[in-house]
Structure 1
Amino acid sequence: MGRIKKKGTSGAAKNYITRTRAVKKLQISLPDFRRLCIFKGIYPREPRNKKKVSKGSTAATTFYYTRDIQYLFHEPLLNKFREHKAVAKKIGRALGRGEVGDAARLEKTHIPKIKLDLIIKERYPTFVDALRDLDDALSMLFLFANLPSTPHVPSKTIALCQRLCLEFQHYVIISHSLRKSFLSIKGIYYQATIQGQDILWLVPYRFVQRTAGDIDFRIMGTFVEFYTTLLGFVNFRLYTSVGLVYPPKFNAKSDEEGGELGAFQLEGKGVASGDEHVTNGNAPEAIASDRAQAEADKVAALPDSEESDTATALVQTGEDENTEAIDTFEPTAQDADTLPQPQASSAELASLFAPFTFYLSRETPKAPLEFILKAFGCKRVGWDSILGDGAFTTNESDTAITHQIVDRPALLNSSLPEVPDAPETANGDAPKAQWPRSAMPGRTYIQPQWVWDCINQGKLLRPDLYAPSAELPPHLSPWVKPSKGEYNPNIPLEQQELEGEAEAFEEEEMEESADDGDSDIAAAPAVNGKNKDIEAIVDRDSSVEAGEGMDLAESESDSDVREENEDTEKAQGDEWDGFESDAESDISEGEVERRQHQRELEAEAAGVSVELSLPTTKSKNAKVRKKAEKKRKQEEEERERQKMMLPRRKRKLLKRIEHGTNKRDKEAENLRSKRRRIEKASSSAIAL
């Protein structure tokens, strides 16, 4: 007889450990345990069967992997936590005796300092691993950089987060690694590609932040402590990889005046004539020389044959860049597949705004616009002096400005107060031109969305579509590509709507505007037909109901009977079309024309004048709608015949697919209907 195993000593019960047992084994407090787990990257786990793990108990319990807790037994940070606890007891004892000086001395000299350098190297063996985990770090640090100073969030932490974030933004500007950005309700999303890794982070808007009392800032502060160390290592590696000195020089006076990015001066290494500083208007020559040297080293390392081929390809590429534009793949048919379009090269994106000089009005967000414009090649960005230090120019009337970004409506001159003629200055310069009273000739005035849409599409868009007070085009996420059948606000309705959908909408609007009373009673059959038509447009396959085919536990006989009943009901529904308001609905078009011609001949023989019935808009719409409905019915019948040839299981799977497709089509149809109403209201308002 074998040995009987004791319950809870093997299997899942041994692989998991509760948080209470883990804290007792490590002999530390619960806050220190949480802090240690955050530093080491150990998180709670959810077992598959909680009863087996907790020995039959169903209480809410937090579990960890036993192997992860054993991994923490020999962690050097445990000794630091224990030393900190011992010094805290001594400080408390000194304060209890009233020895404030001794307590201050103990806190200053005996509190152990925790360094996370070894943990960073342990969690990220390679630099690419650190870049992959940089999304959450940047989002957290940018959040704390915009928080106000409170007892829970000290000012030193905020200043450190701001410095690290601005240093990272400077690298993105110098390397031109920013690819996309999106304005959302939560904030501004940015995506940069650094060494082949896509990094996405969120920057909140600069509104007044109010911290709620239910936020545990101790846990968030632990994450910030780890992320600041991580970003410091990453910034050092990024700066040294492009030949820059880290940390960059920091001008405290410029930072106090709101310089932000302008408060840092980047310096290049290895320049014989001295260090070159990066300011608003120039770039370090060391970076260009280092990049050229790196490319030369790559070419020199290649074999002779590959070197000649590479050189020839580089020469051909340089010649073709200025003469040929990017090819685009246009679909040959309306229902054809959409091919991925070629995108602009990184060199073209890096110089997208290079030829221009921008001026930011006071109402525009200076920080994100300055960052994006400089990241895409703009060397000269000016703004009003009240927005901070570091502008290329603070004179709004500067003739070098080519684009001015404004975010206020253009007012009529009659609504503006009268302003006396401004006298000329002593130097003979013209007075400043103030928007919206006057505009500088030759300058392009645009709204901020133009900048974001240009970088997302990789080209310069028409500025007249983004003029002040103009109705802006939809600002869509660059990471969501509309698939076939979904609503796309960038495409006109005529290219998206189904056949007969516009006519059905017009009939619906006409019937809604009809008078009450007898007209409502007379139009009742038409309304029923209209609802049926709209339902046929929204739900192409009327045999699929919501949730149908989702029950997998039903028996085969029940499912077969239910399918036969559905087919019978559908056949009856196809035969019964309801009452028709027109007696000629069951007659072909040729028969209708023949009868109309016969009535005209009889009236002419009797000497009675016959008024020719001109086709109205409603009749035309009904004709187009019925033709589209007939075509859809034929397609549905053909689809049903094809479904009958499938096995039962595949038929169920197809019904689930059709259910999702119908749901997507219904949402798209609702959005198109909403857009059609908005366009109709705007056109009527313009007509008035």
Structure 2
Amino acid sequence: MPRIKKKGQSGAAKNFITRTQAVRKLQVSLPDFRRLCIFKGIYPREPRNKKKVSKRATPSTTFYYTKDIQYLLHEPLLNKFRDHKALAKKIGKALGRGEVGDAARLEKSKPRMRLDHIIKERYPTFIDALRDLDDALSMLFLFANLPSTTHIPPQTIALCQRLCLEFEHYLIVTNSLKKSFLSIKGIYYQATIQGQDILWLVPYKFVQRMTGDIDFRIMGTFIEFYTTLLGFTNYRLYTSIGLVYPPKFDSASDERGAELGAITLEGKSISATPIVANGFEGDDNPTRAIDAQAEADKVAHLQENEEEAGENDQPEWEPEEGNDAIDTFEPVATQDADILPQPQFSSSEAATLFSDLTFFLSRETPRAPLEFILKAFGCKRVGWDLVLGEGSFTSDEKDPSITHQLVDRPNLPANAFPDVPIETDVGNLVKKSASRVPGRTYVQPQWVWDCINQGKLLRPDLYAPGATLPPHLSPWVKPKQGQYDPTAPLAEQEREGEADLHQEELEVEDEAMEGAGLAVQPVDQPDMDALLDQSDVEAGQGMQIDGSDSSGEEDSDAEDQRPDWSAGSADSDVELSDSEQQRLEYQRELEAEAKGLPAPKADSSKKSGKKVVSEARKKADKKRKEQEEELERQRMMLPNRKRKLFDKMQYGNAKKDAEAEALRKKKRKLEKGEKIKGVA
């Protein structure tokens, strides 16, 4: 007879454990258990059936894998937690007896907790660490911009700032930064390091308001782990390109706002360069380093001999010059062909994008992100005013070597500001005016981001001060076939007959507005005079003055006698069917008869416009019916189990097509408004 299985001894009940049971098994407090799980990368799990897993009548809410908790039993950090707990008891007893000196001595002898072994366990290779660097960078850049409070000590903020600046210096030296995007949340950056794409978010430098509903204890645990991870990663990155880590850090210059200028990079000789193993540590064996260097010299000598032999065999062949530029792929010249994803520009192209330019940042521009991006794409000379901090190439705005100046202010005339007297070192007074320097290009900061995303220098006149900027699009959103692409012309995206249909609809809308007595104004620039006149009239009507009751009654009678026939707009006339239009006309006649007014006459312009649009609608409907019939024939050929999937696909495609058509119509309307504004 087989042994009877007991409940909770096998299956899902044995594979999962509750949080309370895990804390009792590890014999630690709940905060220490949370810290340990964050350090080791262990997270709660959701079982399929909580009733089978739970051993109580009321199912628990938090479960963990039993094997994960069993794995934590051998963690060395448990002994550190117990030592800290014992030390806290001793300090409490000393303070209770009034022995402040002993308590301070015990506080200084607090054991330090290191996370080096956890980093090596969680990331056995360096590529694994790079793949998990997205969240670490976002969190560290966030804490680097926070103010110091009781929950966040200033030492933590200073450490985050230094690690972030070291990582930015590596990106500048290697030209690893590829894309960036300005969003509401902050600035997104993407870098490619050893074939791994790393994306992180940097918040804007605004004054932060710290609220009390944030658990900084949990976030501080993550920061403790992420600082260790980024420190190991920076060490490996610096040593891989022959730089000394940690670099020299000038704290006095950093206090004066130097930021990137507070760090000085140093290279090391080949003999002093350690051989980095697969992990994060170097090999200190000098014999192995000498043998490796000898093998490298031998391989290089063999390659030189092969090249010389190849030149002797083929004297007419001439080697081509090295070209690091990557090739682009042209799509097939068909309408239904897929768009081939174009490769990104290489590091050499990124290093020369701004190499020939000298920039000056105005006081109103964000200095930190602009300095980082410009230097990451090859710019060696970036200047700014002294009020933004130290470390600039030049603080003289009139420097003739400056080619581009970034401004974020409206386009004001030359004599908008009076001359300001400035005292020089000699003691003379020099008048400094706000006039522009001739021969210098003035652009807005968005020009820098759009240039690096497209990999080329764009037209600066589109980004002139005070100009309406082009749309800032995300570089990670690639338009798909059939979707609306704001960068491509409408002629390449629209369907057959769509432009004529939209043009006729817009003409009907304009005729309807003119018939109602409304002037057609540009979309972007409303008629301010008309708005002011309207506001004055409304203000006069709203005044309550004695003796003005008769005038108010006359106005109200005039408003009552004024027929209200503008209930149906041009859009509704176009979209409604004939029966619905007849019903609306009949309703208007009844309203006019009730008020004692003559019946309204049909607008000939509306009828003619409706007739033209109906013809375009007939063509579009005919083509749409043909496509529906073809799809229906294809659907009939499918088995029943695939028809539902086919219907869902067609529903999704139709919805996307409708959204794209609405966006194209909106763009045509905006373009028409701009043309009207240009003519006016």
TM-score by length of 1: 0.77
CA 1:392 to 1:97, structure 2 compared with 1: closer, same or farther past 3 Å? same
- Give the conservation status (yes or no) of the 8 Å contact 2:16–2:64: yes
Post-superposition offset of 1:82: 0.5
Cα distance in structure 2, aligned partners of 1:300 and 1:465: 54
Identify the residue that residue 652 of structure 1 maps to in structure 2: 644
- Give the conservation status (yes or no) of the 8 Å contact 1:424–1:430: yes
**Equivalent position SS for 1:382:** strand
**Equivalent position SS for 1:191:** strand
Post-superposition offset of 1:528: 5.4
Moved more, 10-19 or 112-121: 112-121
Please give the residue correspondences for 1:267-278 in structure 2 after superposition, counting only pairs within 5 Å.
267-270=266-269
C-alpha deviations, 1:105-131, integer Å up to 9, x for none?
Answer: 11112x211011111111111111111
- Corresponding residue to 2:623 among 611, 631, 638: 631
**Equivalent position SS for 1:654:** helix
State the AA in 2 paired with 1:222: T
Post-superposition offset of 1:515: 5.0
Residue 472 of structure 2 corresponds to residue 479 of structure 1? no
- Give the conservation status (yes or no) of the 8 Å contact 1:403–1:446: yes
Post-superposition offset of 1:328: 5.6
State the AA in 2 paired with 1:440: V
Cα distance in structure 2, aligned partners of 1:327 and 1:83: 61
Identify the residue that residue 341 of structure 1 maps to in structure 2: 342
Please give the residue correspondences for 1:677-688 in structure 2 after superposition, counting only pairs within 5 Å.
677-688=669-680
- Give the conservation status (yes or no) of the 8 Å contact 1:474–1:490: no
Residue 374 of structure 2 corresponds to residue 373 of structure 1? yes
Identify the residue that residue 220 of structure 1 maps to in structure 2: 219
Identify the residue that residue 606 of structure 1 maps to in structure 2: none
Cα distance in structure 2, aligned partners of 1:518 and 1:2: 90
Please give the residue correspondences for 1:240-251 in structure 2 after superposition, counting only pairs within 5 Å.
240-251=239-250
Post-superposition offset of 1:175: 0.9
Post-superposition offset of 1:193: 1.0
Percent pairwise identity: 64
Post-superposition offset of 1:50: 1.0
Cα distance in structure 2, aligned partners of 1:625 and 1:428: 77
Cα distance in structure 2, aligned partners of 1:408 and 1:444: 15
Please give the residue correspondences for 1:219-618 in structure 2 after superposition, counting only pairs within 5 Å.
219-270=218-269, 318=321, 327=328, 329=330, 332-413=333-414, 416-419=416-419, 434=434, 438-498=435-495, 499-500=497-498, 501-503=501-503, 505-506=505-506, 509-510=509-510, 513=513, 527=572, 530-531=575-576
- Give the conservation status (yes or no) of the 8 Å contact 2:138–2:202: yes
CA 1:342 to 1:87, structure 2 compared with 1: closer, same or farther past 3 Å? closer
**Equivalent position SS for 1:318:** coil
Post-superposition offset of 1:94: 1.3
State the AA in 2 paired with 1:73: L
- Give the conservation status (yes or no) of the 8 Å contact 1:362–1:384: yes
Post-superposition offset of 1:518: 9.8
Moved more, 390-399 or 262-271: 262-271
Post-superposition offset of 1:664: 1.6
Please give the residue correspondences for 1:659-674 in structure 2 after superposition, counting only pairs within 5 Å.
659-674=651-666
Structure 2 regions of 5+ residues with no counterpart? Answer: 272-293, 517-562, 583-604
Residue 205 of structure 2 corresponds to residue 198 of structure 1? no
Identify the residue that residue 85 of structure 2 maps to in structure 1: 85
Number of equivalent positions:
583
Post-superposition offset of 1:630: 2.0
Cα distance in structure 1, aligned partners of 2:581 and 2:472: 45
Cα distance in structure 1, aligned partners of 2:462 and 2:622: 41
Cα distance in structure 2, aligned partners of 1:315 and 1:345: 25
Please give the residue correspondences for 1:133-144 in structure 2 after superposition, counting only pairs within 5 Å.
133-144=132-143
Cα distance in structure 2, aligned partners of 1:625 and 1:213: 59
CA 1:153 to 1:428, structure 2 compared with 1: closer, same or farther past 3 Å? closer
Post-superposition offset of 1:492: 3.0
Identify the residue that residue 600 of structure 1 maps to in structure 2: none
Residue 111 of structure 2 corresponds to residue 66 of structure 1? no
- Give the conservation status (yes or no) of the 8 Å contact 1:397–1:433: no
Please provide the CA RMSD for this pair.
3.6
Cα distance in structure 2, aligned partners of 1:303 and 1:487: 54
CA 1:686 to 1:128, structure 2 compared with 1: closer, same or farther past 3 Å? same
Moved more, 296-305 or 647-656: 296-305
**Equivalent position SS for 2:374:** helix
Cα distance in structure 2, aligned partners of 1:423 and 1:107: 54
Post-superposition offset of 1:424: 12
Moved more, 251-260 or 676-685: 676-685
**Equivalent position SS for 1:486:** coil
Post-superposition offset of 1:645: 2.6
Moved more, 351-360 or 502-511: 502-511
- Give the conservation status (yes or no) of the 8 Å contact 2:165–2:260: yes
C-alpha deviations, 1:538-589, integer Å up to 9, x for none?
Answer: xxxxxxxxxxxxxxxxxxxxxxxxxxxxxxxxxxxxxxx86999xxxxxxxx
C-alpha deviations, 1:251-273, integer Å up to 9, x for none?
Answer: 1221111000000111111189x
State the AA in 1 paired with 2:621: E
Moved more, 501-510 or 356-365: 501-510
Residue 23 of structure 2 corresponds to residue 31 of structure 1? no
C-alpha deviations, 1:34-58, integer Å up to 9, x for none?
Answer: 1111111111111111111113645
- Give the conservation status (yes or no) of the 8 Å contact 1:503–1:622: no
Cα distance in structure 1, aligned partners of 2:148 and 2:378: 35
CA 1:25 to 1:249, structure 2 compared with 1: closer, same or farther past 3 Å? same
Cα distance in structure 1, aligned partners of 2:76 and 2:344: 50
- Give the conservation status (yes or no) of the 8 Å contact 1:139–1:202: yes
- Give the conservation status (yes or no) of the 8 Å contact 1:249–1:266: yes
- Give the conservation status (yes or no) of the 8 Å contact 1:180–1:478: yes
CA 1:616 to 1:137, structure 2 compared with 1: closer, same or farther past 3 Å? same
C-alpha deviations, 1:11-39, integer Å up to 9, x for none?
Answer: 11001000000000111100001111111
**Equivalent position SS for 1:513:** helix
Cα distance in structure 1, aligned partners of 2:118 and 2:323: 49
Identify the residue that residue 11 of structure 1 maps to in structure 2: 11
Post-superposition offset of 1:353: 0.8
Post-superposition offset of 1:343: 4.0
Cα distance in structure 1, aligned partners of 2:5 and 2:303: 65
Post-superposition offset of 1:411: 1.4
Cα distance in structure 2, aligned partners of 1:203 and 1:369: 13
Identify the residue that residue 641 of structure 1 maps to in structure 2: 633
Cα distance in structure 2, aligned partners of 1:331 and 1:114: 60
Cα distance in structure 1, aligned partners of 2:309 and 2:348: 23
Cα distance in structure 2, aligned partners of 1:173 and 1:295: 29
CA 1:354 to 1:317, structure 2 compared with 1: closer, same or farther past 3 Å? farther
Cα distance in structure 2, aligned partners of 1:687 and 1:481: 35
**Equivalent position SS for 1:404:** strand
- Give the conservation status (yes or no) of the 8 Å contact 2:635–2:643: yes
- Give the conservation status (yes or no) of the 8 Å contact 1:529–1:578: no
Cα distance in structure 2, aligned partners of 1:120 and 1:212: 32
Post-superposition offset of 1:297: 8.8
Post-superposition offset of 1:165: 0.5
- Give the conservation status (yes or no) of the 8 Å contact 1:356–1:402: yes
Cα distance in structure 2, aligned partners of 1:484 and 1:513: 36
CA 1:427 to 1:331, structure 2 compared with 1: closer, same or farther past 3 Å? farther
Post-superposition offset of 1:666: 2.5
C-alpha deviations, 1:302-354, integer Å up to 9, x for none?
Answer: 69769988999x98553667xx9965625534443322335433211221111
- Give the conservation status (yes or no) of the 8 Å contact 2:87–2:106: yes
- Give the conservation status (yes or no) of the 8 Å contact 1:453–1:475: yes
- Give the conservation status (yes or no) of the 8 Å contact 1:299–1:307: no
Residue 131 of structure 2 corresponds to residue 128 of structure 1? no
